[in-house]
Amino acid sequence: MELEEVLKEIGFTEYKVKVYKTLLSLITATPREIAKEANVPVTRAYGVLEELAKEGFVVVLPGKPVRYRALPLSSTILPILETKIKKIKELEEKVKKVEEQITLSTLPKKEILFFQGWDTIRKIFLKDTTDSKSEILLFVRFGQMDTEMWEKLENAIKKHVSIKVLGPYIKERETTMFRYKNIGCKVKVIKNFPTFPLVTFSVRDERLVYIEFFSETGKEERFLARIEDETTAKVFKQIFEKLWESAKNLK
């Protein structure tokens, strides 16, 4: 991007661009010299230079006649651009949060919704865990969760939500299994499971079902089907309870 484009992008007028660019090339100059070189009226040059001095783009050199010197771009333009970039990123984050809030607060009833990617699935998990009132049944792979997800489960238990967690016993994932137990979940494991299942599910308050589909290539390949329907929830609760009966307590 040319300097002229950058200056206009941060709010410089046409005369201001001409005066500032001219002074950058001359290094130091009087208003008349700048006006002549920039091809702008002298009176406008004086006004623009005073404005640039107030904004910190140029400094006034004492003497007769008064001369002006342009400050380096690194100490003038770059900080402005950095501030703009920061504000744009902040606005981008705010837009994302608003979009998430709208999406999560207007989830339709009795409809199958599909979500892809770990970040989105995580946010759905956090919201629905917070909204759970009485029971959460989790058939999991005992994968890692972040601090906020653990906190949401622990807070649910403190609100007297019963949480049962069931999954294949994998020696390498014992730490996660015991963490569920330590925060107050009831935990059982299925021994001699041949491998990690590519599908897991959960039931919340006998009204909401998650069916999660995994790919071995990574977290971002995960898909979540979210179904809010009591009949479907009852079916999956029965499946969970059958698996629970045959599973072993975590010891």
CA torsion sign, 69 to 73 to 77 to 83? Answer: negative
User: Torsions phi, psi of 241, nearest 5?
Assistant: -65, -35
Place of tokens 């996660």: 176
Q: Is residue 157 part of a domain?
A: yes
C-alpha span between 243 and 190 (Å, rounded) = 8
**Residue 94, number of CB atoms within 10 A of its CB:** 10
Query: Which residues are CB-neighbours of 236 under 8 A, at least 6 positions away?
Result: 137, 201, 203, 209
Domain CATH number, residue 61: 1.10.10.10
User: How much is the pLDDT for 157?
Assistant: 96
**Total structural domains in the chain?**
2
Cα 179 to Cα 24, 126, 167, distances in angstroms: 64, 18, 14
User: How much is the pLDDT for 181?
Assistant: 94
Helix spans in the chain (H): 3-9, 14-26, 31-38, 42-55, 73-105, 118-131, 147-158, 174-182, 230-246
User: How much is the pLDDT for 194?
Assistant: 73
> Are 203 and 231 contacting, i.e. CB atoms less than 8 angstroms apart?
no
User: How much is the pLDDT for 25?
Assistant: 87
Strand partners of residue 89 = none
User: Torsions phi, psi of 109, nearest 5?
Assistant: -85, 150
Examine the domain organization and report whether 26 and 131 are in the same domain: no
C-alpha span between 127 and 123 (Å, rounded) = 6
Examine the domain organization and report whether 113 and 67 are in the same domain: no
Taking 50 as the pLDDT cut, the residues of the chain under it are none
pLDDT in tens, 207-242: 999 999 987 765 557 889 999 999 999 999 999 999
Among 71, 86, 115, the domain-final residue is 71
User: How much is the pLDDT for 23?
Assistant: 86
User: How much is the pLDDT for 20?
Assistant: 87
User: How much is the pLDDT for 238?
Assistant: 95
Tell me the residue range of the domain where 124 lies.
107-249
Q: Which of 45, 44, 43 is nearest to 29 (CA)?
A: 45
Q: Is residue 80 part of a domain?
A: no
Residue 167 three-state SS: strand
> Are 134 and 164 contacting, i.e. CB atoms less than 8 angstroms apart?
no
Residue 13 three-state SS: coil
User: How much is the pLDDT for 98?
Assistant: 63
Domain CATH number, residue 137: 3.30.870.10
